[in-house]
Structure formats: C-alpha cells, structure tokens
Amino acid sequence: MDLPDYAIEATGLFKTYPASKTAPAMDALKGVDLKIPRGSIFGLLGPNGAGKSTFINILSGLTKKTRGQVKIWGRDIDTQARDARAAIGVVPQEIAADPFFTPRESLEVQAGLYGVPAAERRSDQLLAALGLADKSKAYVRQLSGGMKRRLMVAKAMVHNPPVLILDEPTAGVDVELRRQLWNYVVELNRQGVTIVLTTHYLEEAEQLCDTIAIVNRGQVVACEPTSQLLRRLDSRTVVVTPETPLAEAPSLKPFEARLRPGGDLAVDFKTAEAGVEQVLAAVRAAGVHIKDLRTEDPDLEDVFVSMTYGLEATATD
C-alpha cells in the first residue's frame, strides 16, 4: 500500500452522547473535518471539554462515533478496524500500568497484545531510549510519576506504529524529564513517525508543532501551519521602560496601556490601524520619558485565547 498523504483524516465526524436521568444529550463533536499530514508534529489544542479527548478516543477505538468517516494511515476505522488500530500508538492522560510488573514485563505484555513476535520486540531498546534502562527490573509502583509517563510512551511504541498520539504527555513532569521526552519525540518524528500532541503548555506547541488545530465546543475553529496561525492576530505590543517609575498606567487613547510587574509600560495596538511611531508619540504626549523600549509579537497563547474564550464571549453577547 502506498504511503498516504495524511496520517489521519476525519470527515463530517459527529459524536453525540445520549440523554440520561441526570444530563441532557450532548454533542461532543459537531462535524469535525481534519486532515493531519503524514510526517508532521501536529498540535490539537482547545479548552477543557472542547472535544479533544473524544476525538482521540474515537481514533483509539474506546469511543464509537455517531457518524462520519475516519481514516488512520489510509485505513477506515469501520471497514479496516484492525489495521487502523495497529497504525497508532496512544499515550493517554491517565497513567495505566500494572504496578506489580516491571517496566520490561509491561512492554513485553503490550507487545504480545499487538501480536509482535518475540524475536521482533524492542523492549530493551525502548527502555534505553526513554531513560528507563536502569529501572527495567524495578516494579512499576516504584517509579516516579515522570518515569511512569515515559513508560507509557514506550508502551505506545511497542508495535512500531507510524502515528503516535500524545494526550497531555508532560502533565506533572518536571522540566528536565519534559526536555528528555521531547528530544525522544522529535527524534521519532525525524524517523518518520507522525506525532499528534494535545497539551496545555502552549509554548511547547508553539516550539514543536508544524501545524496546529484549535478545537472549541466540538468544532475545529482553526487548522493552519503554526507560523500562519500566529499571524492571525494583527496586534503588537510596544513595551516601554520609563525613566521614572510610574504609579499607574497613563491614559493613551485609542491605545490600551498597562503596567507590568517591574515597572514596564505595555501598549497594545492594531498594526492595520497604527504604527510604533504613533504609539511612542502618545506615550511622550502623556509625559512619559522613555529609557528603553522593545516590541513584542503575539504568541500562541494570544491566538488561543482569541479563538476560544473570545468566541465564547461573542456567543453570549
């Protein structure tokens, strides 16, 4: 079979949870159309309850879709279910490992569930790659939270899938372990593995992901290359360090000004409506003597807030 252009394709995907005695029917996914390019590091972002986990659970077979079509590595999850499931490895948010197994035993059992022949298993290789070689014979219950998370990544890779889904993989992991995990993930991607990442650490998504989709209320509200997504906001910020500390931010209408911790004055402006010179003129007119200044472009957090919480505010107006 030829390599597909897209690692994952979802077309018109709906998931409706039926009403119960305590809750009305709920549409978790509302016609999701999403194409995840083969070989990419793809970010799937959205607030809690946006539908990210439902989407991942449908891919992994834990949740049945209401309607729509999904293909994983070119295999339809309805008509080629076994092949589709074999094409992905999923690292869930929850840590799920038998506390009475050793890490090596956990990988061997997982490989057996996927039908990997004993001669083709890579348990020791995976443990070494994720910095767990020296813990291979310890019980899982003796591992730290960060080590258990890395073991979950190893379990997801035992059958050498071409697509790896990471659902909040660095939650509760310290900075050094996070760095090690991302180094391994980036290396997997260099080897051709498509990575799908959900995270609340937006700086991670900004640094790692080629393409980002933002999901809100069960719908995809944006899906673009990361650099293009960051250009969606036409705002910039001028940060002024005043010669004399200010007691409060001056009025700089039509611009919005605020004092930052440390005394810098941040002034936001729309690039389509004004330029840096106009901002500086307003600052000087307010009697502020400038010691230093710099400009800042919007980051992914600004875009995320604008496209999720901003949309919610508009919907309630």
Q: What percent of the chain has pLDDT over 70?
A: 93
pLDDT for the residue numbered 315: 43
Judge whether 6-230 and 235-297 match in fold: no
pLDDT for the residue numbered 15: 96
pLDDT for the residue numbered 299: 67
Q: What average pLDDT score do residues 88-109 get?
A: 89
Q: What average pLDDT score do residues 92-110 get?
A: 89
Least confident of 107-116, 219-228, 306-315: 306-315
Percent helix, strand and coil across the chain, each to the nearest 5: 35, 30, 35
In words, the CATH class of domain 6-230 is: alpha beta
Instruction: Tell me if 221 sits within 8 A of 215, measured CB to CB.
Output: yes
pLDDT for the residue numbered 47: 85
Least confident of 3-7, 227-231, 312-316: 312-316
CATH number belonging to the domain at 235-297, selected among 3.40.1000, 3.30.310, 3.30.70, 2.60.120: 3.30.70
Q: What average pLDDT score do residues 128-132 get?
A: 89
Instruction: List the chain domain ranges.
Output: 6-230, 235-297
Which strand (E) or helix (H) includes residue 170? none
Instruction: Tell me if 163 sits within 8 A of 191, measured CB to CB.
Output: no
